[in-house]
Amino acid sequence: MKSNKITEVGTGLLLIIVVGVLTYAHETWMPNMATMLALVLMVAFFGAFALFVWREKDGDEREQLIRFIASRAAFLATGGVLLLGIIIETIVYNRSNSWLGIALVVMVVAKIIGNAYGQHKY
């Protein structure tokens, strides 16, 4: 179990580092287009791995409850960050980035569909 926690924390930290390098690379050392493309591909592949490939294992009720709590916290944190981004961009730039709104809508619609599916199936 301890190895699993180390892997999870390591994966999260690595994702933070890769996204941070991609986000601030242009401001720091102004890389050429090939370097930026390599950074984008690295973030895309690593993000896809972290989201879709890396699987959680089924366990007892306690582990399922812990996963439920973690999923709920992730949903609330992501929704809060998206709302904050929409508010700040609207105040600062008098217009919000459309991707923030799309991401928020997709997140809420996915929750509604997931709830409906869970109630129908179980």
Q: What is the DSSP letter of 32?
A: -
Region 92-120: what's the mean pLDDT?
89
Q: What is the pLDDT of residues 108-118, one digit of tens each?
A: 999 999 989 98
User: What pLDDT shows up at residue 2?
Assistant: 58
DSSP codes joined into one string, 35-104: HHHHHHHHHHHHHHIIIIISPPPP--HHHHHHHHHHHHHHHHHHHHHHHHHHHHHHHHHSS--HHHHHHH
Region 62-84: what's the mean pLDDT?
91
Q: What is the pLDDT of residues 1-38, one digit of tens each?
A: 556 778 778 878 888 888 888 777 767 777 788 888 88
pTM passes above 0.85: no
User: What pLDDT shows up at residue 77?
Assistant: 95
Region 77-90: what's the mean pLDDT?
93
60 phi and psi, to 5 degrees? -80, -175
